[in-house]
Amino acid sequence: MFSKIKAIKDIRDQAKNMQSALEEVVCTGTGAREKVSISMNGNQRILSIDIDDSLLTDKAALSKGLIEAFGNVTKDLQKEMAGKMKEMGGLQDMIRTLGM
Domains of the chain: 20-98 (3.30.1310.10)
For the ranges 6-10, 49-53, 85-89, which has the lowest average pLDDT?
85-89
DSSP annotation of 17? H
How many Å apart are CA 61 and CA 83, to the nearest integer? 33
pLDDT tens figures, 50-67: 999 999 999 999 999 999
pLDDT of amino acid 82:
85
The reported pTM is 0.76
Say what the pLDDT of residue 81 is. 85
Distance of CA 57 to the CA centre of its chain: 31
- Other beta carbons within 10 Å of 91: 12
**Which 3-state string (H, E, C) describes 38-99?**
EEEECCCCEEEEEECHHHCCCHHHHHHHHHHHHHHHHHHHHHHHHHHHHHCCHHHHHHHHHC
Which tens digits make up the pLDDT trace of 9-43?
888 888 888 888 888 899 999 999 999 999 999 88
CB atoms inside a 10 Å sphere around CB 18: 20
